[in-house]
Copies of this chain bind each other. A is one copy, B any other.
Amino acid sequence: MGRALTVINALGLMLVVFSISYVLPVLTSLIYHDDTLTDFLLAMLWTAGTGVLLWISTRRYRGELSIRHGYLLVVAMWTAMPAVATFPLLLVIDGLSFTDAYFETMSGITTTGATVLTGLDHLPPAINLWRHELNWLGGMGIIVLAVAVLPLLGIGGRQLFKAETPGPMKDSALTPRITETARNLWLVYAGITLACILSLKLAGMNWLDAVCHAFAAMGLGGFSTHDASVGYFDSPAIEFVLIVFMLLAAMNFATHFLAWRGRSLRIYLHDAEAVATVSLILGSCLGIALFLWWQGVYPGFWTALRHASFNLVSMATDCGFASADFNQWPIFAPMWMLFLSCITASSGSTGGGIKMIRTLVLVKQAGREFLLLLHPAAINPMKIGGQVVANNIVFAVLGFIFLYFVSVATLTFALLISGLDFISSFSAVLACINNAGPGLGVVGPAGNFGVLSDFQTWICTAAMLIGRLEIFTILILFTPAFWKR
């Protein structure tokens, strides 16, 4: 009981810190005079107040957390922050239910980018900025969580990533290292975001759109200020800029940090994930472009290549921008994009899904099994990027992937029972659990998660959270062993 109150104490502090993030929409409201100033100030006050209340009422229980309570805190943070983040949405948008508002903020903070809102073009600028800031903050949060926190908890092969991160991020002493690692990552993330804002402005966006889309691109969130998403701009320059920054955001930010510190691009070649991801995406862009051209979806190869590249990179990196209604393409193309969204993003990036490192472990393990069938006595340790991967880590990775599929199947069946068709159900679950954004069918890029019933909306909300917290973090709370003294 005392330990649970320690979790609440830490959560209170987090909420106070989180309330600072309302400064940006408050400034936006001041600049654009969009009549949302008091709403955002109220939301800020309520968030800070809730935090202070939790913090003060449990201050006697301040202290260190066990691993077990580490899980509780992570889950509590990622459910409480979207809850308080709904305040401005509920205050400003008439008739928005809490279910839909919570879906929207969860979608923002998990960097899923699926939306239940329509008429985005006419939302007050501060509201749009707030949605996009959630994308950006969520991206930051997940990088720190993935690079600094989850490896210590030992989630689904995360130890591997820790071992792979050279230099200052390698150490395992908890508190001081988390702080230093987080600061370094934060600097890299903020720096690349700034470059993205400026590039988008140069490519022709206004400042508000540039900031919003840079936030959404770097967090691989994929929210847009327009119902037509990036298709609204119809600009190859903007699409090109976004492709570059989406690819950067889908790589491990620790690699960016090392490349920056060492002033060397060669670092990227030593990142097995980055190499595999970029090769797979480039090959797929070319293949899908040829397919769309062959099928006559676009009259010329170059037009096909432009639309294939932007939408494929967007889905494969789990960003979720759209420049065309790829739900209308021959089904092979969007299915391949959905498949890529499951496996492509790097660990330590802002993308979701299984992650490229786990995909590599899986492929190498299959190769090992073949060799063992032919030479039963062979000793053949797994190596990735020159490093041996221990068997217990392979097990953790395989366990992760199994639970990933179990989660996908269970949530899909839940949507099927509720009466949704198969393609919409399956793609909605994949799009949410991968934190990608648009699915196919009724939740396709031209559609919207607003058509879902409340039950279906909560299933999708759960899928986003399960995916973002690497599955184990959530599901472990439902095991009897977790609650055993």
Which residues in A have some Cβ–Cβ distance to B below 8 Å? 67-68, 153-156, 291, 330-332, 335-336, 339, 362, 365-374, 376, 391-392, 394-396, 398-403, 405-406, 409, 412-413, 416-417, 419, 421-423, 472, 475-476, 479, 481-482
Contacts and interface: CB of A to CB of B under 8 A. Distances in A.
Number of copies: 2
Contacts of A422: 331, 335, 422-423
A141 B127 CA distance: 66
Contacts of A68: 374
B481 A369 contact: no
A335 B481 CA distance: 32
A374 to B, nearest CB: 6
Contacts of A368: 395, 399
Given A68-B374, A369-B399, A423-B423, A331 B416 contact: yes
Given A362-B402, A402-B362, A416 B335 contact: yes
Contact of A370 (B392, B395, B416, B476): B476
B153 A399 contact: no
Given A335-B412, A372-B392, 4 more contacts: A68-B374, A331-B421, A362-B402, A401-B402
Given A335-B422, A366-B402, A374 B67 contact: yes
A184 to B, nearest CB: 27
Contacts of A291: 417
Nearest to A441: B422
10 contacts: A154-B376, A291-B417, A335-B416, A365-B395, A366-B403, A370-B475, A372-B396, A391-B391, A398-B402, A401-B402
Nearest to A409: B339
A371 B398 CA distance: 15
Contacts of A365: 395, 398-399, 402
Contacts of A362: 402
A374 B335 CA distance: 37
A402 B472 CA distance: 19
Nearest to A339: B409
Contact of A481 (B67, B370, B398, B476): B370
A405 B392 CA distance: 22
A314 B394 CA distance: 37
Contact of A472 (B330, B373, B406): B373
B419 A330 contact: yes
B373 A155 contact: yes
A467 B68 CA distance: 42
A416 B337 CA distance: 13
A373 B335 CA distance: 34
A399 B367 CA distance: 9
B332 A399 contact: no
Contacts of A396: 369, 372
B472 A332 contact: no
Contacts of A156: 369
